[in-house]
Amino acid sequence: AEYMGILDSLSTLLIMDLKEEFNTSLNWIRNELNFDINAEVSAFECTIRGIGGLISAYELSGEKHEILIDKAKELANRLLFAYNTTTGIPESLINLHTLIHKNPPWTGRASVLSEIGTVQLEMAALSHHTKNQIYTKKAEKAMQVVRDAPIPDGFPLGLYPTYMNPTQGQWTSYHATLGALGDSFYEYLLKSWIYGGKKSKSYLNMFLESSKAITQNLVMRTDDGQTLFIGEMKRGVVIPRMDHLACFAAGMYGLASEEITEGPITQWKTLASELTETCFQMYTKSRTGIAPESVNFPPGGTMLAGTPYYLLRPETVEAFFYQWRFTKQQKYRDYGWKVFRAINKYCRVTSGGYAGIKHVNSFPAKQDDLMQSFWLAETLKYLYMLFSSDEILDLKKWVLNTEAHPLKIRTS
C-alpha cells in the first residue's frame, strides 16, 4: 500500500507541477524501492497503478529518468509469472517474492474479465520503452483467448462474462456488467485502439460490437423516462442497478464520439451526456452530497442508494472532465466544484489526507480510515484538469489509462 501510494501519485505530481514532491518520490524510488517482498498482491492493480504510474512519470518528465523504466521492468518481470497458465490467461494474485500465483476462492478460482483485459496499454508501453516484446505478447495472448472463447448460449454478442477458467479458457459465469469485474475491459477496447495509433481493426471492431451490445441490452431508463443508466445482466435478466464504477462509461462514450468517425456518434454523445447527469445525481440525491458505491432503480422512477459507502472514487469526476473537454459547457465545472466541496467537507482528515465514508446518508458521516491510492492518481487529477486549460494534457497526444496515468499515443 505504501509503495502503490507513491507510484500512483507520480503522474499527478507532474501534472500539478509539484517538482519538489516529485523529486522526493524519485529519490525514494532510486534508493529504497524494492519489489522483492514476501507479499501477495493483485497483478492487475500492480500493473495499472505501479507499471502505469512509473511509465507515465517517465514520459511526462521528458523520458530522462531511466530508473522509472528500470523499476517498471523489474515489477513487470515478477508479474509475468501470473501469466504462466495453460492458456496464458493471468491469475489474479501473485507473491512478489516466491512468484507463486493463484486465483482467490471468491471467484471460484476463475480469472476476472476486467483484470484480463486491462493490462494491454501498460504492457505495450513497457515493450516500447524496453524494446522487449515479451510484455505486450503476454497481454495480447490473453486477449486473444478472450476473443476466441465461445460465448455461452443466449449471451449477447459483444458482452463478455465476468469470469474465465485460466486452465481451460472457458467462461464460468453468466454475468455481464460495466461495474465491478467488467468495467475497464470495455474501456481498454477503445483506448488500446487509440494508443496504437488507431491501427488495430481488432480492437476497434470489438469496441463497436460491445458498444452496440451495451446499448441494446444494458442501457435502461427509469419508469418515468427521466433517468438513463446502465444496468447489469445475470443469466439473461437485466438488473436495474448501477455501480459508481460504471460512470466511467460516460467518459468512454464521450471519447469514442471524438475519436471514431464511423460509429453512431450522435448516440454516443447522448449517452455520454445523460450518463454524466445520472452520475451527478448519485451525489446530489444523497444526504452528504457524496455518491454511494452503487444505486438501485426500483419501480417508480426513483434512485436509491444500494451499497452505501464511498471510497473516494473518481469515475464521476472523470466524466465531468471529458464532458468539459468535449463540450465546454460550464455546468460540468460547476458539478465538479459541488462534488469536490462535499468530499472536502466529509472526507478530509484534520490530521492530513482524505478517507472514504461508511454511509453517504448517515450523519455524522463516519470515515473509514483509508485513503485509496486512486484518490491521488485519479480523483484529484481529474478535478485538477477539469479546472485547468486544455494545454495541460493534449488528448490527441495522450491516452489516460484506467488509473488516469497519461501514456503517449504511438503513431508509428
Angle at 382 between CA 11 and CA 226, to 5 degrees: 155
Q: 293 catalytic, yes or no?
A: yes
Angle at 406 between CA 400 and CA 408, to 5 degrees: 105
C-alpha cell, 380:
484529484
Taking alpha carbons only, the member of 251, 184, 187 closest to residue 386 is 251
Instruction: Tell whether omega for the bond before 292 is within 30 degrees of 0, i.e. cis.
Output: no
pTM greater than 0.85 (yes/no): yes
In the prediction, which pLDDT does 301 show? 87
pLDDT digits (tens, 9 = 90+) for 97-114: 999 999 999 999 999 999
The dihedral built from the CA positions of residue 279, 284, 288 and 294, taken in this order, carries a sign that is: negative
The dihedral built from the CA positions of residue 89, 94, 98 and 100, taken in this order, carries a sign that is: negative
Angle at 49 between CA 174 and CA 2, to 5 degrees: 120
DSSP of 264-330: -HHHHHHHHHHHHHHHHHHHHTSSSS---SEEE--TTT--EESS--B----HHHHHHHHHHHHH--H
pLDDT digits (tens, 9 = 90+) for 14-43: 999 999 999 999 999 999 999 999 999 999
In the prediction, which pLDDT does 1 show? 67
Q: Coil, helix or strand for 239? A: strand
Residue 315 neighbours by CB distance under 10 Å: 24
In the prediction, which pLDDT does 299 show? 93
Task: List the catalytic residue out of 293, 315, 318, 403.
Answer: 293
pLDDT < 70 regions, the chain: 1
